[in-house]
Amino acid sequence: MASAKNLQAIRGMNDLLPADAARWAGFEALIRDVLTGYGYREIRTPIVEATELFCRSIGEVTDIVEKEMYTFADRNGDSLTLRPEGTASCVRACIEHGLLHNQQQRLWYAGPMFRHERPQKGRYRQFHQIGAEAFGMDGPDIDAEMICMTARFWQRLGLADVRLQLNSLGTPACRSAYRDKLVAHLRSGYELLDEDARRRLDSNPLRILDTKNPAMRELVDAAPVLADHLDDESARHFERLRALLDAAGVGYELNPRLVRGLDYYTKTVFEWVTDRLGAQGTVCAGGRYDGLVEQLGGRPVPGVGFAMGIERLLGLLEGRDDIAAATQPQVYVVMAGEAAEAAGLVLAERLRDALPQLRLQLNAGGGQIKNQMKRADKSGADWALVLGEQEAAQACVGLKSLRTDAAQETLAQGGIAAALAARLGL
Ligand code: ATP
Ligand code: MG
């Protein structure tokens, strides 16, 4: 048997401890609030899917499918995969449940994703995303609205240092014409290409534009630009999107090298980036994927979506206690002796009946009053309720501020709910 000291979390998969969980919860609540405000509704799908789903949607020749998926054989031999992203599952569920027939959908999801990458700051093997997808709308208006919504996330979070990068990948047809020119250009510098790039030259040359290899930078920078090869419809879509963003006052940079790591994108692609996180600077990324539903077996339905990396955003929000959800108790109940413990339990239950929002922690495990008061202080509560033998016998209770020098008051137990409600604004 392995010794206990070997029992650790899997590399690249992190525990979220209570000290940080409150900030996560506050972050998630705020994002959910904005999503709901734009008419998005939550969808939850399983974490495990048939491997084929991701091969068919993300694309065989992508980093994710080639080398990052957690794929395993189920006991009956089926090939299953821990989801590396959320869009494929969302589309699968929508097709399966008929959510896309002659209707529009605005959906969001949140949860863990799994990719076998090299763990480093901002890059983990289990990480978390919140994403949104909109189906059944093919115009640039929904692209613009969705980007405005992401801008609002940062505004509500008080994040000023994220920038929007924008590009258009056009339709598959104009991409394939462009692709030939790109391949010709890259072949002219074949000796500069790394192993990955050489392999992708035939299978997925656009991904080479996305390279992080500095040795290939110059060659890639000199490559023809996709934006110059857009068909009329894609060009109009892109122009209109930019006009809408201008009208809404959402600034952006055009980045012709922005191609995104997944195969299914068409037309609009965008990323929100920051310089504050080192190499892992993309906090939110998305785009339009008009062919994906059909590719996964549904009738053709246009789609657009994005996903944000929660760990990276929380990295930007380090030390920001103002966004943390309130989780500390407001009131701590201290009790001396058995009779007081019984009275305290009953009083606590009555208070929870009267004030459902109240966060109250009841001392457990006994201890001297002095030690219980230390626990009360450490709990973060602002108020202690003190039940000594005498208070218990007289059906009253001491109310003591833990954060000021104010003297302890004695109140009738029947009046304590009103007193707390007034002091805590409940
Ligand atoms: P990157 O270029 O950083 O690898 P990506 O293009 O693979 O990102 P997407 O698949 O678009 O990322 O996922 C959307 C967002 O999820 C990213 O912008 C990032 O914030 C986050 N993300 C992606 N992979 C990871 C990871 N391994 N660890 C933490 N966050 C991640
Ligand atoms: Mg990646």
Q: How does pLDDT run across 169-203, given as a tens digit for each residue?
A: 998 888 888 889 999 999 999 999 999 899 989 88
Within the chain, which residue ranges are assigned CATH 3.30.930.10?
A: 10-170+230-321
**The domain 331-424 is classified under which CATH number: 1.10.10.10, 3.40.50.150, 3.20.80.10, 3.40.50.800?**
3.40.50.800
| CA neighbor of 414 nearest in space, from 359, 365, 351 | 351
Residue length of the chain? 426
| pLDDT band, residue 3 (cuts 50/70/90) | low
Q: What is the pLDDT of residue 177?
A: 86
Q: What is the pLDDT of residue 67?
A: 93
Among protein residues, the one whose CA lies closest to atom 5 of ligand 1: 261
| pLDDT band, residue 204 (cuts 50/70/90) | confident
Asked if residue 312 has its Cβ within 6 Å of ligand 1, the reply is: yes
Asked if residue 307 has its Cβ within 6 Å of ligand 1, the reply is: yes
Ligand positioned closest to the Cα atom of 120 = 1
331-335 and 383-387 beta bridge pairing: parallel
Within the chain, which residue ranges are assigned CATH 3.40.50.800?
A: 331-424
Q: Is the per-residue pLDDT at 27 higher than 80?
A: yes
* DSSP helix/strand/coil, 344: helix
Among protein residues, the one whose CA lies closest to atom 26 of ligand 1: 123
CA–centroid distance, 261 to ligand 2, in Å, is 7
Shortest-distance atom of ligand 1 to CA 306: 14
Q: What is the pLDDT of residue 292?
A: 95
Q: 268 CB contacts (<8 Å, ≥6 apart)?
A: 140, 143, 166, 167, 168, 169, 237, 238, 241, 287, 288, 304
| pLDDT band, residue 335 (cuts 50/70/90) | very high
Q: Is the per-residue pLDDT at 2 higher than 80?
A: no
Q: Is the per-residue pLDDT at 4 higher than 80?
A: no
Q: How far apart are CA 223 and CA 217, in angstroms?
A: 10
pLDDT higher at 297 or 260: 297
Q: What is the pLDDT of residue 325?
A: 93
Q: How does pLDDT run across 384-405, given as a tens digit for each residue?
A: 999 999 998 999 999 999 999 9
Q: 341 CB contacts (<8 Å, ≥6 apart)?
A: 335, 366
Q: Which CATH architecture has domain 10-170+230-321?
A: 2-Layer Sandwich (3.30)
Burial of 38 (0-12, 13-18, 19+ CB in 10 A): middle
